A and B are shown apart, each in its own frame.
Chain A
Amino acid sequence: MSDLLFHLFAVFTVACALGVVFNKNAVASALCLLLSLVGVAGLFVLLDAFLLAVLLVLVYAGAVVALFLFIIMLLDMQGGDRKRFTKATLVSSTVAGGLLITGLVSFATRGLNHTTILAEVPVVGNSLRAYAEQLFTVYLLPVQIVGFLLLIAMLGVIVLSKKFEGLEDIK
């Protein structure tokens, strides 16, 4: 049962992810992204990680994709004229793709070689309390750093998107 569900969700997730890339229509792409995220949430549920599944749906499916759609509809994107690929983009995309594949392959093979290490990872349970304790004790510094990065990104977006023309704009 669980195996069957895993295969269903995995195929569903990947198919929807492909739909994001290959759809001509931006709204349909965003909806495929939504379905793909729901599929990932399903995979988390199969792993008994209910909190991650719920947070994924709440933050990404519920808010981020809705914002995507809002932007798409506000800008009324109809594809538009895209620039042709230049040599620089071809080279850089090949390098980036190669790095991504190398990373994935090494990740997969290392995972096969060191499966025993997985067993040594301390089990902290999937309850809300276990997550919270880990986040506020062991992983406090990374959490703070990520929060700080997000703050910087937010400030950057405000600075970049707002056109400062006169002194009265800076309030």
Chain B
Amino acid sequence: MFDFYFELPLLLRLVLQGTAVILVLFPLAAACSMAERKVSAWIQGRPGPNRTVPPFLAWIPGISILQKLGIFQLAADGGKFTFKEDVVPGHVNAFYFILAPIASMIPALTTVAFIPFGAYFTELADGTMKLVPIALTNLDVGLLAVFALGSLGVYSLILAGWASNSKYPFLGGVRASAQLISYELSMTLSVLPVFLWVNAPGGPGTLSLFDVVQSQSQPGFFGGMWYIFLMPLSAFIFLIALFAETNRQPFDMPESEADLVGGFHTEYGAFKWSLFFVAEYAHMIVGSGIFCLLFLGGWNPLPWVTLADVVNFGAGFLPLIASPLVMGVIGITLFLLKVGFFIFFFMWVRWTLPRFRYDQVMTLGWKKLLPLSIANLVLYAILIAVKDLYFPNL
């Protein structure tokens, strides 16, 4: 059925795959802005955007449901951002001012290349079934690559703050650089216990995100356990650092409307402004995806119940379920549901907790989170060594 696709040159296929992923991620990130407005409205007990509908569609019966959901408001916002006059203020450094929002998109849209979304069975030449990840690349150093590219996201904020040539954006840019560097350390240290556990002696030795999910899909009590139960502290530190790295409240120091007007994007408007926010939501989606892969079993539906179990069970009734296409769709859907919950969680926290002061952010990062993550790493290193030495078959 899809033979014509595999006859295309490899380079063209890779470009098509990358474009397909971006074509999903970009609108998803834009749709998050509407979700944010609806969630905030729901938390604050008001209806939120529920009036917009194009007049030429208003006669369709049942369209008021979409209208109440604010779907058309999203399109209206998008149209407004695209067609609004794109002002470059006279006092800015125009080159870097325009470069900053473009630079914000690069890490936001490239990190997704290392995220596996799902998996399917394929039959090898010798007849055995092998689980294959659905991802653009499955690198040995997968997670490090995500961290490396993600760490480049700070430059767009610094550049925007600096090129705006005005005080509040400048303060926002300086805060962004300090905050993002501070929390990167805790973030990296907090995931190390996961990889200590995954890379048991004699294993392949890998940082691949697919292998992390695979090691949460093994039989047995510890094999099928999601790492959020095994390492709750790691997951907690990672989640806090993720909030700080994506500049979400209560950590949105670079933006900080109450004391910095709009922070780094004070001087921005129209399409350039919206690019910053699409990038922020794309970071949130990728970050939630990594959290789900590391601590929530990726595309596995429940702890101790893997996707392969479900598909094999379902194939007993309906053989179609075991086909790669259906299995892939089931896996991606489960994964996106988990990611969707975390996007909601981000918004939930934003509209529930007040913003930290800047000194509190620094104290939390350097004096609390960093020692905690180092202690967590040492503790798990000792526990895992003891387990490997004395209970190798556990």
Contact = CB atoms under 8 A, between A and B. Distances in A.
A127 B148 CA distance: 18
Interface residues of A, number: 22
B181 interface: yes
Interface string A132-171: 1000000000000000000000000000000000000000
B158 A73 contact: yes
A129 B181 contact: no
A137 to B, nearest CB: 14
Contact of B155 (A51, A54, A66): A66
A54 B158 contact: no
Given A58-B144, A70-B174, A73-B170, A129 B205 contact: yes
A83 to B, nearest CB: 27
Interface string A28-51: 000100100000000000000011
B206 A63 contact: no
Contacts of B145: 50, 54
B177 A128 contact: no
A61 interface: yes
Given A62-B148, A63-B181, A66-B155, A132 B141 contact: no
Given A50-B139, A51-B141, A27 B162 contact: yes
A74 interface: yes
A70 B178 contact: yes
A69 interface: yes
B147 A50 contact: no
Nearest to B170: A73
Nearest to A76: B170
A57 interface: yes
B148 A73 contact: no
A51 B177 CA distance: 25
Contacts of A63: 151, 181, 184
B180 interface: yes
A69 B160 CA distance: 12
Contacts of A129: 204-206
A66 B181 contact: yes
**In the complex, which of the residues A31, A67, A70 has the most CB atoms of chain B within 10 Å of its own CB atom?**
A70
B151 A62 contact: yes
Contacts of B139: 50
Given A62-B151, A62-B184, A73-B173, A54 B204 contact: no
A54 B139 CA distance: 11
A66 B148 contact: no
A133 B155 CA distance: 34
A51 B144 contact: yes
B158 A69 contact: yes
B121 to A, nearest CB: 25
B144 A132 contact: no
A58 B205 CA distance: 20
Nearest to B174: A73
Given A66-B180, A67-B181, A127-B205, A58 B174 contact: no
B184 A127 contact: no
A62 B147 CA distance: 9
B154 A66 contact: yes
Given A61-B152, A62-B154, 14 more contacts: A50-B145, A51-B144, A54-B144, A54-B148, A58-B147, A62-B148, A63-B151, A66-B155, A67-B181, A73-B177, A128-B140, A128-B205, A129-B206, A132-B205
12 contacts: A34-B155, A50-B139, A51-B141, A57-B148, A58-B144, A58-B148, A66-B158, A67-B181, A69-B158, A70-B181, A73-B158, A127-B140
Interface of B: 96, 139-141, 144-145, 147-149, 151-152, 154-155, 158-159, 161-162, 170, 173-174, 177-178, 180-181, 184, 204-207
Interface of A: 27, 31, 34, 50-51, 54-55, 57-58, 61-63, 66-67, 69-70, 73-74, 127-129, 132
Q: Which 8 A-B pairs have the closest CB atoms?
A: A129-B205, A62-B151, A58-B148, A57-B148, A70-B177, A54-B144, A54-B148, A54-B145
